[in-house]
Amino acid sequence: MLKLCSCSVTDQIQASVQCRFPGSPSPFAFRRRSPVSVSCSPLSRLKLTPVQAVLSSQQKEVAEVVKSGSGSLADLLRLGSLAEDGLSYNEKYIVRCYEVGINKTATIETLANLLQEVGSNHAQSLGFSTDGFATTPTMRKMHLIWVTARMHIEIYKYPAWSDVVEIETWCQSEGRIGTRRDWILKDAATGELIGRATGKWVMMNQDTRRLQKVSDDVREEHLIFCPREPRLAFPEKNNRSLKKIIKLEDPAQYSRLRLTPRRADLDMNHHVNYVTYIGWVLESMPQEIIDTHELQSITLDYRRECLQDDVVDSLASLEPIDGTETVSEHNGTNGSTAAREDADCPKFLHLLRVSCDGQEINRGRTEWRKKPAR
């Protein structure tokens, strides 16, 4: 079993690569590069009058810069850059029309995809692992890969079509066996915090499929780009990202059976990408919750890879109320407040399992809140 905090590094691992999370583990390079800015500063745009008429000559100039190897066109156009200290990376994304769902706001899948993209671009901006899997040279030599162990995402305000989301990300080691990446999401127009996320990865030997301790070599390759002091997106004690997820047992209250991967769910290694699991978890949510609530937080523990021919059951049940926790959250308010809180902010446990043999793919936990009036 894949327990991030206590697993033996020689445990046989059932989980496997969630390969569509490239760049997520720690960035790496042999020596620290100076922060490279590829941002197009809003200021420069405001002060310059875009000259449409000479676009072709501009394009030629860009093509020459690209050709000369000083950066790809994407590097030039991307609204992203390393922070001044080189220890985090920040990029802005405009929410596209097809990325919003029935609520007219970005779906959780969209935001999860953007976390993946900004992590990749961070790794790329540091100049390593352009294969998209963010392995270090030592890891590649030793056939070691990163395996997603946990993702936790909290969204406080969903951006709408054409809103600009600014995401900062950085990474650091996680004990002796893993690495983590954190993210802060802001509304770029106002600077308002709209979300936070954290993910954990462990190292697996690709041949033996066993977990492996992060060696000093790999650690050194990592640490050079990590903050010197731990910096957490969720610094508060007992935050949701740390919560242990208990296994949801049958019979579940809600289920959606026999879900199948589509071709577009597969990455270049023919594994189902990690965002698809989020969608599958949501599939078993009761419609009345979807209609009246929005997702506040989601935590997923990844336990087993999923391939093209797998058929998956998605199960969900209301999480049993933990009286102590509810009381403590409300500083000792009485039961009626706790009950109201529970109706307004229901919490669910989730399980994704292989349909035919019940093997656990994923366990999850979601919290919901009433939809805001629009």
Which of 11, 217, 267, 329 is close enough to bind a second copy by CB under 8 A? 267
User: Closest distance between a second copy and the C-beta of residue 43, in Å?
Assistant: 4
Q: Check binding of 184 to a second copy (CB under 8 A).
A: no
Which of 4, 14, 29, 109 is close enough to bind a second copy by CB under 8 A? 109
User: What whole-number distance in Å separates Cα of residue 12 and Cα of residue 283?
Assistant: 30
Q: Encode burial over 161-198: b for 16+ CB neighbours within 10 A, e otherwise.
A: eebebbbbbbbbbbeebbbbbbbbbbbbeeeeebbbbb
**5 given a catalytic annotation:** no
Q: Check binding of 51 to a second copy (CB under 8 A).
A: yes
User: What whole-number distance in Å separates Cα of residue 200 and Cα of residue 179?
Assistant: 6
Q: Check binding of 26 to a second copy (CB under 8 A).
A: no
Q: How many CB atoms lie within 10 A of CB 283?
A: 18
Q: Check binding of 132 to a second copy (CB under 8 A).
A: yes
Q: Which stretch binds a second copy (CB under 8 A): 113-121, 140-148, 227-235, 340-348?
A: 113-121
Cis-peptide into 251, omega within 30 deg:
yes
User: Closest distance between a second copy and the C-beta of residue 110, in Å?
Assistant: 9
Which of 9, 40, 224, 245 is close enough to bind a second copy by CB under 8 A? 40
User: Closest distance between a second copy and the C-beta of residue 329, in Å?
Assistant: 29
**Residue in 354, 297, 278, 219 with CA at minimum distance from that of residue 18:** 278
Catalytic residue among 222, 271, 293, 350: 271
**269 given a catalytic annotation:** yes
Assess contact for 25 and 201: CB atoms under 8 A: yes
Which of 6, 31, 68, 191 is close enough to bind a second copy by CB under 8 A? 191
Q: Which stretch binds a second copy (CB under 8 A): 149-157, 215-223, 234-242, 280-288?
A: 280-288
**Which is closer to a second copy, CB of 11 or CB of 109?**
109
**345 given a catalytic annotation:** no
Catalytic residue among 171, 306, 350, 362: 306
Q: Check binding of 84 to a second copy (CB under 8 A).
A: yes
User: What whole-number distance in Å separates Cα of residue 295 and Cα of residue 195?
Assistant: 12
Q: Which stretch binds a second copy (CB under 8 A): 158-166, 174-182, 319-327, 345-353?
A: 158-166
Q: Which stretch binds a second copy (CB under 8 A): 7-15, 37-45, 234-242, 365-373?
A: 37-45
What are the residue numbers of the active site?
269, 271, 306
